[in-house]
Each structure stands twice: as structure tokens, then as C-alpha cells.
Amino acid sequence: MTGLHQGLTPIHADLLKTTGQNLLLPVLAMAGAGQVGAAIAVLVKTKNKRLKKTIWSGLPVGILGVGEPLIYGVTLPLGKPFLGACIGGAFGGAFNAAMKVASISMGLSGIPLAAIVKQPGFYLIGVVIAYTAGFIATYILGFEDPQE
């Protein structure tokens, strides 16, 4: 929505130009994966039909790497789920950093990023870690379920 992440495009381009790979993008992509995990936890816990509908409509694009619908429609308005998503992203990002997962191009995020990383298996494990940690953290933190 604000486009702040676009400010990193020159950094991504420079990393690719100077090193031939980008170790930063797979780490940063885990922020969106954490949002998916947190949104699934909210989906499991909420009784609000409107919120469930919002989550169901945001999950497919979240999985494809567009996190804004889940951020602005679900986790941020509820507060604690946003923190849970951040925790999930941190776990997935730490895994990708430790495994030195690197992209060879830019422009993708979410599951499609696996197509342009040198270690797609490790990347996908990082995604699952971010989903799982985001889910668990959000489930534990809880949230105030909005009234219909």
C-alpha cells in the first residue's frame, strides 16, 4: 500500500550485479509468509463470518507473495496477529539466512520465488517455517474477535 519495500529494488539490483545473487530477497519474502500463517490462525479462531470471508479472499494472493490484503484487512487491524506474523517471518527469514538461500533474479515473492532461488527446497522449508511460526505465535497471542 505504501510501497516502502520498493525502496529496496536498487539494493536487490546491486546485489545481483555485484555478486550474481541476492541473499536479501528470500529473507524479506518471509514477512509475507508470516502473514499467511497468522491469517490462518485467525481463520481457525474467529467466529466472525465477514473476517473469515476476508481471510479466504486474501490467502491465495498471500501465498503468491502479495501480503497487503492480509496485512491491512486482517492482521494489522487486529493488532496481536500482526505481531504473530512478524514472529513467523523472523523464523522463516532466519532459516533462509542460515541456509544462505539466494535468488538469481528479482520480482517474485511468496511460493513463486522458489522458481528463481538457487536452493528451492530450502526456500520452501523456510516458507513452511514462517507459516507455522506465524500460526503458532498468533494462536498463542490471541486477539479480540470482532463482533459481527
Domain for residue 13, yes or no?
Answer: no
Q: Of 81, 80, 1, 91, which is closest to residue 36 (Cα–Cα)?
A: 81
Residue 9: per-residue pLDDT: 82
Domain for residue 61, yes or no?
Answer: yes
Domain extent, residue 70, equals 18-141
Cα angle 101, 10, 96 (rounded to 5 degrees) comes to 15
Sign of CA dihedral 32, 30, 86, 5: negative
Those residues whose C-beta lies under 8 Å from the C-beta of residue 136, and which sit 6 or more positions away, are 37, 41, 84, 88
Q: What is the pLDDT along the chain (148 residues), one digit of tens a residue?
A: 566 677 788 888 899 999 999 999 999 999 999 999 999 999 999 999 999 999 999 999 999 999 999 999 999 999 999 999 999 999 999 999 999 999 999 888 999 999 999 999 999 999 999 999 999 999 999 999 998 7
Residue 148: per-residue pLDDT: 79
Indicate the DSSP class of residue 119. -
Those residues whose C-beta lies under 8 Å from the C-beta of residue 64, and which sit 6 or more positions away, are 109, 110, 111, 112
Domain for residue 26, yes or no?
Answer: yes
Domain for residue 74, yes or no?
Answer: yes
The predicted model scores a pTM of 0.93
C-alpha grid cell, residue 38:
497468522
Domain for residue 148, yes or no?
Answer: no
Domain for residue 54, yes or no?
Answer: yes
Domain for residue 7, yes or no?
Answer: no
Helix axes 30-45 and 49-63, enclosed angle (nearest 10): 150
Task: Work out how many domains the chain is built from and give that number.
Answer: 1
Domain for residue 73, yes or no?
Answer: yes
